[in-house]
Every structure is written in C-alpha cells, then in structure tokens.
Amino acid sequence: MILYQDEEYVLFDAHSHFSNLVARPLKFLFKNMAIYEIMDLIFTNWHRFKRISKDRTEKNVYLYKLIMDYYHVDKAIHLPVFKMDRKLSYRMNEMFPECIVGFGYINPNSKHLDEDLRELIEMKVVGIKIHPDIMKFKFKTHADRLIKIFEFCAKNKIIILSHTGSHSDIINVLPLLKQCEETIFIMGHSGLCPQVNHAIEVARECPNSYLEMCGNPYTYKFLEAMKDPDIGIERLFFGTDSPSLHPRVEIEKVLGMPISEEEKRMIFAKNLENLLKNYAPNRYGYNLF
C-alpha cells in the first residue's frame, strides 16, 4: 500500500517476473534483465535469504517477496520467464497464497502441449503467460494451437496473459478471442508503442480482453479507453514488469493521470481483484481477498 496526497492505495501488480536463473555467477547476465536498484536489492540480501533456506527455489520466492515489500506491492501476479520458472510460480502459490498468484507457462510450440496443459490443472494455477517473441509463435500462423490453448483455458477457468508489442501483430488475436468468447485474455503492455492502437481495437471488439498498462507511455490512450463505452475503466490493470522496469515509474504513471482517487484505486487493484473474484471465485483455496 502506498500513501499519496493523504490517500491510501492498495497495489495489485498484474505483471511481474522472477526467475530461478537468478544466481550470483549469473549476476552479469542479470544486469541485462533487471534495473540496477532491484539487482542491488537482491544481491545485498543474498546471504541473508541463503541462510533462511538452502532450497534455491524457496530462497528465490523470498527474494521476490522482498521486492514486493520494498515497493509496497500488496499483491502480485508472478509470470514465469522461462519454462523452468513455472515451478517457482507453483512454490509461490504454496508459500504466499494470500498475496502472490503464480501463473503457469504454456508454449504453443511445445511437443508436449497436452501434457503441459494437464499440468496446469494438477498444479491448480489460475493463469498462464504466453510470449510470442520468446516462444517463437504468431497469433495468425499458430492459430490452431492457440485455439486449443484458449478453449482449454476457458473450460478450466484459466486466465491468459500475453506479452504484446513489437512482435506478433496483436490485431490477429481478434478472431481467436471472438471464437473463444469465454477466454479471459490480458494484453500485457497493451501493445507498447508499436501496437497500442491495435490493443485498444482488440479491447473494443472483445469484451473478454483486458489492457495491462506497464511499459506503455501513452496514458492518453488509456484515458480514451476509460471513456470508451465499449471498454471502460474496469478493464484497465496496473502492472510493473518488475524487475525489467521500475515499479515506481509505473506507480507514478497512474498517480499522475487526471482521474479521481477512486478510479486510481480501480486501476491499482480493484479491477484485477474483481476479475479474479468473478471469474474463479474461491478457486483452489487462494486467500487473496
């Protein structure tokens, strides 16, 4: 929770990451993936958490929670960076069910797609992350496999968050979402700079799609979306993309918008809370609310 001009705001981060690859020998590589402030925070506390737990995954859960606390984030969705990181998400769900929602990882190009989908049910995840660039797929070219994923997620009440931006054209997700109207689809970054207009168009055409704001500088586009009768403020989510982007910048972006305190509260937390409550109420025993 943060305090700004005598107003309190709960923060529910819809877009954050951590990886089990984080390790002292790879610190030089981590510089390319994280802002220095977070990197310094992690490695300053490295030995403290190493003493708390010798289990590497458990230690990384504590480090992720440290980042949340440092930036006053009350709740967060953790999105796996690589397939191996899905186990980190599962452990987060076990250790901090009251404040962390660990998403799973599904690659449309996987040779074991059916097995990967079944694992989502076994591990009781409420969402998955897909990434066109890292996973090397396109919404149009790989439509058949994506439809299979979308339908599976709709049937099992699993939310999909996809990276959007300079890779696969987000406009090509339109026919998929219209075919799978029960699928909940969050557009991470809302198209960034290259595709923000397309992201807004998808949101306008598909009421099952949502706009997540991190990394996108076009706040006037989000103001337009709020006023659009086919979108509305209820479908905007706050995110940080931590540790790649600076959480405080994303927080200030919302605080600086010319909207009411209540509307800021909706973007910061209430919209995402309402989605989870209504889409999968009391699912799997999570104690977020």
Maximum average pLDDT range among 22-26, 257-261, 279-283: 257-261
Q: What is the mean pLDDT of residues 279-287?
A: 58
- Residue 279's pLDDT is 83
Q: For 9-279, which CATH superfamily applies? A: Metal-dependent hydrolases (3.20.20.140)
User: For the residues 152-181, what does the mean pLDDT come to?
Assistant: 93
Distance in angstroms between the alpha carbons of the first and the last residue of the chain: 15
Kindly report the pTM of this predicted structure: 0.93
Q: Which of 167-171, 190-194, 243-247 tops mean pLDDT?
A: 243-247
- pLDDT number for residue 284: 45
Task: Give the model confidence (pLDDT) of 37-62 as tens digits.
Answer: 998 898 899 888 888 888 889 999 99
> What would the 3-class secondary structure string for the chain be?
CEEECCEEECCEEEEEEECCCCCHHHHHHHCCCCCHHHHHHHHHCHHHHHHHCCCHHHHHHHHHHHHHHHCCCCEEEEEECCHHHHHHHHHHHHHCCCCEEECEECCCCCCCHHHHHHHHHHCCCCEEEECHHHHCCCCCCCHHHHHHHHHHHHHCCCEEEEECCCCCCHHHHHHHHHHCCCCCEEEEHHHHHHHHHHHHHHHHHCCCEEEECCCCCCHHHHHHHHHCCCCCHHHEECCCCECCCCHHHHHHHHHCCCCCHHHHHHHHHHHHHHHHHHHCCCHHHCCCC
Q: Which two tokens stand for residue 286?
A: 């999570």
283 pLDDT above the threshold of 80 = no
Tell me the mean pLDDT in the region 257-278.
95
The larger pLDDT score, comparing residue 246 to residue 283, is at: 246
- Residues in the chain, total: 289
Where are the chain's structural domains? Answer: 9-279
Distances from the Cα of 162 to the Cαs of 150, 187, 254, 287, in angstroms?
Answer: 12, 5, 21, 25
Rounded to whole angstroms, the Cα distance separating 89 from 199 reads 27
The yes-or-no verdict on residue 218 having pLDDT over 80 is yes
Poorest-confidence range of 40-49, 58-67, 145-154, 256-265? Answer: 40-49
Please tell me the predicted confidence (pLDDT) of residue 36.
87
Residue 254, judged by CB atoms within 10 A of its CB (0-12, 13-18, 19+), counts as buried
pLDDT of residue 70: 96
Query: Can you say how many angstroms the Cα of residue 19 is from the centroid of all Cα atoms in its chain?
Result: 14
pLDDT of residue 180: 96
Tell me what the pLDDT averaged over the chain comes to: 92
Its sign, for the CA torsion 89, 168, 246, 270, is: negative
- For the stretch 64-106, pLDDT in tens is 999 999 999 999 999 999 999 999 999 999 999 999 999 999 9
pLDDT at 37: 92
Per-residue pLDDT tens digits for 174-195: 999 999 999 999 999 999 988 9
